[in-house]
Amino acid sequence: MGTEGARVLLERAGRLTLQTGNLLNWGCLRKKCPATPSEEVRDCIQKTVTEWSSKIGQDQNQETLEVLECTVAQALEKINPEERDELKVSAKLFIVGSNSSSIRDAVDLACSALGVAQLDSVIIAPPPVEDGTNLSLEYLQPYWKELENLVQNKKIVAIGTSDLDKTLLEQLYLWAQVKPSSNQVNLASCCVMPPDLTAFAKECDIQLLTHNDPKELLCEASFQEALQESIQNVKANEWIPLWLLRYSVIVKSRGIIKSKGYIIQAKRNAS
């Protein structure tokens, strides 16, 4: 993962990894800025792959059956070790496939891409459940245990959750060895913080944050369309996203975002 810039890696036998560089330096990716987080992700994928594809010849493109590695000019900005104490590196992880081992992969790739030993905070979005099934503590436990291991191994400082109601947040808090430090609430579905959630969070010193992410930030169809529209000779329908991590680097003293980007991993289901 040492290549500078936004990068896509397609391996015929297994995985695709996409890194988008500093979105703040990119500015608007189209004539107007994306209206939603989902549009932003799709535009980042499309811009990264399109820009790389335009720089290579058709013959070279046809040779990328085993490995496809794409870079763009806008570099992924590695953090200067001398500035590390002045910055907060936070991430939100969206698990698409129900596999808790994806958490370690995502954190390792984020640390490598940004040139840091650990992330200051990681919030996990609720992993997908089957239709008709409610999210439960039992379902969350394998994911939280993986996060706890990363905290114990000093890869993450603090861990948090997203979209948990008071009942489930309390169950997680009472069970967990490493307590959640934050919980995000989607104000699109909740105009005011629920009083019971607010009271419990205050009692247990859990920070309540807000967000506007949809339940499915990157759907399979949108991911495949972005690949198909951006590069030739790729059987986009064979690629399925596994997880998506959005990171931000914040200047502590000024409270401003220095850089922001996405890391996405997918697998290839070849027939």
pLDDT in tens, 163-221: 999 999 999 999 999 999 999 998 776 667 889 999 999 999 999 999 988 888 888 88
The model's pLDDT over 93-132, given as tens digits with 9 standing for 90+, comes to 998 876 788 899 899 989 988 999 999 999 999 887 777 7
Residue 9 has pLDDT above 70, yes or no: no
Q: Model confidence at 38, in pLDDT bands (50, 70, 90)? A: confident
Q: Is this structure's pTM higher than 0.75? A: yes
| Tokens of residue 203, six digits | 């009692």
The model's pLDDT over 228-256, given as tens digits with 9 standing for 90+, comes to 887 766 677 878 888 899 999 999 999 89
Residues 6+ apart with CB under 8 A from 134: none
Number of domains in the chain: 1
The whole-angstrom separation of Cα 81 and Cα 68 is: 31
Domain residues for the domain of 15 are 1-268
Residue 271 has pLDDT above 70, yes or no: no
> E strands within 108-255?
119-124, 156-162, 182-186, 207-211, 239-251
The model's pLDDT over 157-171, given as tens digits with 9 standing for 90+, comes to 999 999 999 999 999
The model's pLDDT over 121-164, given as tens digits with 9 standing for 90+, comes to 999 998 877 777 789 999 999 999 999 999 999 999 999 999 99
Which of 140, 138, 110 shows the shortest CA–CA distance to 122? 110
- For 174, other C-beta atoms within 10 Å of its C-beta total 10
- For 125, other C-beta atoms within 10 Å of its C-beta total 22
